Structure 1
């Protein structure tokens, strides 16, 4: 969400002080193993769920100072808060990102509540409503810790494990101080954040690759840039493989026209490399459906 995309400056603070431990799931692997897994039939159930929508100026999503944006007209973008329900035949149900909780806004500080009003955030359903009467998720796999991706964790039972890319909790930004670290509110009552143990991908397909369950069905992908621990997920689903980019690419302009996000200068090179890796992978594997961070399928 735009309020968390502003650059870091003086008096910056970390994204969360929630406790952290090493992930107890997943094994570091390599891009060639990930690519080989695409040849096998998918076994995981997959559902994209839209939880809320908002409207923001394009400056919230693309970097106007970059010459590549010169031909893009000013205007607004409709954005959606998505999460994903995945059902593994052996290991059970998991969420990718947290969705939305109605309990979050009343606990936010005045700056964040005003931001939500200015963006005209419209909640269509909450995580609790979507999951009512169904199997509770065994864990949440976050793409990153920005509050529009972690907020719905509040609706899950206390102790639900939450996994995130290493370094995300330590992201320093002035906005974390100004907004009161909403990730801390969303994570209250949950166990320590479990940080994925990425290692450099020997094949260079992505910065790092983790085989989450050890059977090639779900993969965590290191995509640093939008945040230090930004993580994508490749799901070998029954209906075909799905690539969840998180906010490594948040809207179609970022994918179709390769337009950069408004990020601190120190993060731009990593962000560009992550987007290029995603685009190369999608081009090499056209059977993979791509799910962007805040808008519908790229294609």
Structure 2
């Protein structure tokens, strides 16, 4: 959602120089994760041949509409042939039930209270995107078992907003450097992650080590049994994390906004990121596509759209 926000700031005449130094995404405390054993990508690939032990469900929480420049970099010549237009996007979260470790969410859905916590610049941007809530995290949670943990793909507000509706004791995990990633824009946006995380305990940062085979920046066996894997895929943000879930009904790859739409996945269109993050974003997207191609049994879940021609891509 960075492009609409940037357009709004420019239109209002704000100068990035308002802040003399970069402001972190959040000043919320961060500690080392208490889960996750470093592994190689081949370990993960081998685990996919074993029967899954966790159940998996995708839940749609909200929908929004953005111009294609929200999702692809219109300044990159590779996007020149993509016609102007808009894309429909969905805010998803994913429910994992593990026989030993209980319920976990990947990303957090949305909250009806989010709007009140955002500053007026963020509220204006969200309204410009015509966000339509299908269900809030609080509504989904009614009558359900609350998750003990949330594994974040990244800290952008459309992936973490539902934390407002979850118990404050819920453990929250994220990729390295995600909380500390600095930008002068964060000051103007009012640090939405800080507003969302208010009252929650420290964020737990995945302790990735380099993948010995170089297929990803890092691979973690989250529970130590091959059921859930965290993959370091920086670029969209410093700590962007994908998750491989070896579910009972087959393996699922949740890529987050490392690739958010079909334009990025099927057509290889680059997403809008700062120049310093371009190489990492392109590399992470290509690594995810390469892994999925090499393992055709894996069902891929993009950040905000379904893949065409894949199982389970009917509207939620």
1: distance between equivalents of 2:94 and 2:244?
Answer: 12
Contact 1:223–1:231 (CA under 8 A) maintained in structure 2: yes
1:200 corresponds to which of 210, 229, 232: 210
Counterpart in the other structure of 1:126: 136
Contact 1:34–1:216 (CA under 8 A) maintained in structure 2: yes
- Establish whether residue 236 from structure 1 lines up as the match of residue 246 from structure 2: yes
Q: Secondary structure of 2:112's partner?
A: coil
Contact 1:5–1:263 (CA under 8 A) maintained in structure 2: no
- Establish whether residue 256 from structure 1 lines up as the match of residue 276 from structure 2: no
1:14 corresponds to which of 14, 20, 24: 24
Q: Deviations over 1:120-179 (max 9, x none)?
A: 110010111112111110100000000101110110111211000010011112331111
Matches within 5 A, 1:102-121: 102-121=112-131
Give every structure 1 segment of 4 or more consecutive aligned residues whose post-TM-superposition deviation is greater than 3 Å. Answer: 2-10
Counterpart in the other structure of 1:53: 63
Counterpart in the other structure of 2:298: 288
2: distance between equivalents of 1:297 and 1:122?
Answer: 21
2: distance between equivalents of 1:26 and 1:4?
Answer: 36
Could you tell me how far 1:3 is from its partner in structure 2?
A: 5.5
Contact 2:110–2:161 (CA under 8 A) maintained in structure 1: yes
RMSD value over aligned CA atoms?
A: 1.5
Scaled by the length of structure 1, the TM-score of the pair is: 0.97
Could you tell me how far 1:4 is from its partner in structure 2?
A: 8.2
Counterpart in the other structure of 1:145: 155
Could you tell me how far 1:204 is from its partner in structure 2?
A: 1.3
2: distance between equivalents of 1:91 and 1:14?
Answer: 32
Q: Secondary structure of 1:100's partner?
A: coil
Could you tell me how far 1:267 is from its partner in structure 2?
A: 0.2
Scaled by the length of structure 2, the TM-score of the pair is: 0.92
Contact 1:3–1:115 (CA under 8 A) maintained in structure 2: no
Counterpart in the other structure of 2:79: 69
2: distance between equivalents of 1:57 and 1:178?
Answer: 23
Counterpart in the other structure of 2:313: none
2: distance between equivalents of 1:15 and 1:216?
Answer: 31
Q: Secondary structure of 1:213's partner?
A: coil
2: distance between equivalents of 1:9 and 1:288?
Answer: 42
2: distance between equivalents of 1:185 and 1:174?
Answer: 17
For structure 2, list consecutive stretches of 5 or more residues without a partner in the other structure: 8-14, 311-316
Contact 1:2–1:61 (CA under 8 A) maintained in structure 2: no
Q: Deviations over 1:67-99 (max 9, x none)?
A: 111110010011111100110111100000010
Q: Deviations over 1:17-46 (max 9, x none)?
A: 000000001111110100000100111111
Contact 2:218–2:231 (CA under 8 A) maintained in structure 1: yes
1: distance between equivalents of 2:272 and 2:6?
Answer: 7
1: distance between equivalents of 2:141 and 2:2?
Answer: 27
1: distance between equivalents of 2:64 and 2:54?
Answer: 30
Counterpart in the other structure of 1:159: 169
Contact 2:117–2:196 (CA under 8 A) maintained in structure 1: no
